[in-house]
Amino acid sequence: MSRLFPLLLLVLSPLALRAQLTPTQPRRLELPLDPASSDVRVLPLADTSVAVFVESTAGNSFRPAYSFQHFDRDLRPLRTVPVKVDREYRLVQATAAAPYAFALFESEYVAARFQVFRLDLRTGEVLGFAFDTKTVEDLYDLEVLDGKLFATVQVQRHLTVLHIDVDEEEFRLLPAVYESIPTEVTFLPDSATQRAGYVVSQSNGFLSRLQVKQLSAQGQLLASRFIQAESGRGLITAQLSPGDSTQRLLAGTYTLRDPRYSQGLFASNLPGDPTLRPPLRFYDFAVLKHFFDFMKPRRAERLRARSAELRAAGRELHLRYRILTHRMIPFQDGYVLVGEVYYPQYHSGNSAYGWPGAVGPRYFDGYRPAYLGPRNFDGYRSTHAVVCGFDRYGTLLWDNTFVLKNAEQNTLTETVRLRPLPDGKRLVLAYLDKDKFRYKIVDGTAASPNDLQVPIQTTAEGRHEKTLETEQQGVLPWYGSRFLTYGYQRVRPEHGSPREVFFLNVVAFD
């Protein structure tokens, strides 16, 4: 046994022990709400507070009540402000950027009519107005820059931007962004430069390119440039780095054939002069060290060997991955980009024997056995998240992968969230799986466990309680090395009846 002791010390080296960092949950907030009669939007703020917009229908009432609620960093209440919403409207989006929180409603009676409310987090004052766009068919996203709202909307088979100014009670569609569907649009509100950055994908069915646009907070077009690859590669989508507008990093995904599927990542530093052609650096998924960690090792090894064999012959192994890229965050002397690998899920409306209503097997998009009937969409499943570190010039410094479990969403939204650790050298990736907080510590390209988890605590006082059910759960990045987890829970205490609550838990890696 004594001979094994030095070996055990070697395995449990300081580096290995550091990787097993366990978070704490110092604060919990409960709101007495149930999912059948309420809707809650959680809006973390960079000033370390958090705003919550609540819609709830009490008792036998058929008319919901609305309120902004504002909490400090310890989840202690600062103020609750009721909002009077006209009966015809339903909540569609909420967002916040200090010192304001916003809620946007859409009319259920008149198409393209909206109502917006803004809470001043400093004073508690609420301003709002209703407006009729007449042409907006759908609204996908809502962002804030300098107190103005930028909404990505659909108008006549095109994506464009609806600019909303609450102070002036004005709205307008911005002609600077008007792209035919299908397209992808990513947006970066940069408070440091007071500019809005848009990256728009454009494709003719064979080749795809990107257009990068810079807009002022008032919606005026300030600069525009096209980014196009050579050698048969097409650029699918990309994210802009925050900060200095004279030199930005652009990083995203590229394809070899079908613009729905990614072959790898690309990165480029954009010089301040839009007439200069930016250099593009490409990183095939097959050359990343950890991208195939979600596979069994032998299968991943065979795939890499096949890719190397084709590359030696001047060809490339065509890969088919759908990637949802996240916004880049500054890290050390560069940036970090996270991309979630996902696929849509379906089930058959009929079984193999034709029984109506029977649920057949699920399958990947693009593959459907001949005996299956019409497909019914089930949502999206994320298999893993690739995280990459770039320097300011787009050189890939390291990569890692977080293998996911039970990561399913009804809509295509970010599952995994990212925060830097206090040492400034490592990152933590996390998501919520029912009442389990799953996370991974990333230290560059070093291997680390994918199965770390802690249960979401139902009390900060150490009482013995049991979680009976958790739904509509999620996790959001907050400030420092802290996350906010949220969702509806049914909790059974040691004594007494179960309670239905909407919870907010602080999860800290301080």
In b/e form, how buried is each residue of 181-204, taking b as 16+ CB within 10 angstroms? Answer: eebbbbbbbbeebebbbbbbbbbe
Q: Is the peptide bond before 182 cis (omega within 30 degrees of 0)?
A: yes
Q: Which helix (H) or strand (E) holds 7?
A: helix 4-11
Q: What does the pLDDT read at residue 246?
A: 65
Which residue from 176, 201, 199, 180 is spatially nearest to 188, judged by alpha carbons?
199
What is the reported pLDDT for 373? Answer: 52
Cβ partners under 8 Å of residue 304, min gap 6: 286, 292
Tell me the whole-structure pTM to 2 decimals. 0.89
Closest CA to 442 of 431, 459, 428, 422: 428
Q: Decide: 232 and 256 in contact? Cβ < 8 Å.
A: yes
pLDDT score for 244: 65
Please report the pLDDT score of residue 353 as a whole number: 36
Q: What is the pLDDT along the chain (510 residues), one digit of tens a residue?
A: 444 444 444 444 444 444 468 999 999 999 999 999 999 999 999 999 999 999 999 877 778 999 999 999 999 999 999 999 999 999 999 999 999 999 999 999 999 999 999 999 999 999 999 999 999 999 999 999 999 999 999 999 999 999 999 999 999 999 999 999 889 999 999 888 889 999 999 987 777 899 999 999 999 999 999 999 987 899 999 999 987 666 789 999 999 988 889 999 999 998 877 677 889 999 999 999 999 999 999 999 999 999 999 999 999 999 999 999 999 999 999 999 999 999 999 876 554 433 333 333 332 333 333 344 567 888 999 999 999 999 999 999 999 999 999 999 999 999 999 999 999 999 999 999 999 999 999 999 999 999 999 999 998 777 889 999 999 999 999 999 999 999 999 999 988 899 999 999 999 998
* Predicted pLDDT at 490: 96
DSSP 363: B
Within 10 angstroms of residue 274's Cβ, the number of other Cβ atoms is 13
Strand partners, 417: 430
- Geometric angle at alpha carbon 419, from 417 and 422, rounded to 5°: 160
Q: 92 with 121: CB under 8 angstroms?
A: no
- For 98-247, strand residue ranges (E) read 100-107, 113-120, 126-132, 138-145, 148-155, 158-165, 170-180, 185-190, 195-203, 208-216, 221-227, 234-240
